Amino acid sequence: MQSLKNTFEDRIVLCDGAMGTVLYARGVFINRCYDELNLSDPSLILSIHEEYLQSGAEILETNTFGANRFRLARHGLASRTAEINEAGVRIARQAADHLKDKQAGDAWIAGSVGPLGVHLEPLGKTGLAEAREAFEEQISALAAAGADMLMIETMPALNEAQQALLAAKTIAPHLPAIVMITVDDDGNCLDGSSPAHAAALLTEWGADAIGCNCSTGPATVLTAIEAMRPITTLPLAAMPNAGMPRAVEGRNIYLCSPEYMASFARKAIKSGAQFVGGCCGTTPNHIRAMRSAIRAIDAQNRNEAREEITITGTAADRAAEESSEVPPAPLAERSRLGALIAQGTFVSLVEIVPPKGINCTKEIEGARLMASLGVHAINVPDSPRASARMSAQSLCIQIQQHTGIETVLHYTCRDRNVLSIQSDLLGASSIGLRNILCLTGDPPKLGNYPDATAVFDVDAIGLVNIVRRLNHGLDIGGNAIGASTNFTIGVAANPGVPDIEQELRRFAWKVEAGAEYAITQPVFDLRLLETFLRRVEEFRIPIIAGIWPLTSLRNAEFLRTDLRWSIPEAVMLRMAQAESPDAARAEGVRIAQEMLKEAKPMVQGVQVSAPFGRYALAAEVIASVLPPGSSYAAD
Residues 113, 62: Cα–Cα separation, whole Å: 9
Residues 624, 109: Cα–Cα separation, whole Å: 74
CB-based contacts of 109: which residues, under 8 Å, 6+ apart? 59, 60, 62, 89, 92, 93, 96, 146, 147, 148, 149
Q: Strand 251-254 to strand 245-248: parallel, antiparallel, or no bridges (unpaired)?
A: antiparallel
3-state secondary structure of 158: helix
Would the annotation count 279 as a binding residue? Answer: yes
Would the annotation count 280 as a binding residue? Answer: yes
- What are the angstrom distances between the C-alpha of 584 and each of 71, 122, 274, 309, 482? 53, 46, 77, 79, 53
* Phi–psi pair at 59, nearest 5 degrees: -120, 125
Q: Name the helix (H) or strand (E) containing 609.
A: strand 605-609
CB-based contacts of 171: which residues, under 8 Å, 6+ apart? 136, 139, 140, 143
Would the annotation count 256 as a binding residue? Answer: no
Q: CA dihedral defined by 395, 401, 404, 406, rounded to 10 degrees?
A: 40
In this structure, the number of other CB atoms found within 10 A of the CB of residue 454 comes to 14
* b/e 55-64 (16+ beta carbons within 10 angstroms → b): bbbbbbbbbb
Candidates 112, 441, 477; CA nearest to 322 is 477
Residues 354, 345: Cα–Cα separation, whole Å: 28
Answer yes or no: are the C-beta atoms of 352 and 499 closer than 8 Å. Answer: no
In this structure, the number of other CB atoms found within 10 A of the CB of residue 280 comes to 23
Note the residue count of the chain: 635
Cis ω for the linkage preceding 176 (within 30 of 0): no
In this structure, the number of other CB atoms found within 10 A of the CB of residue 1 comes to 12
**Residues annotated as binding site?**
214, 279-280
Annotated binding site for Zn(2+): 214, 279-280
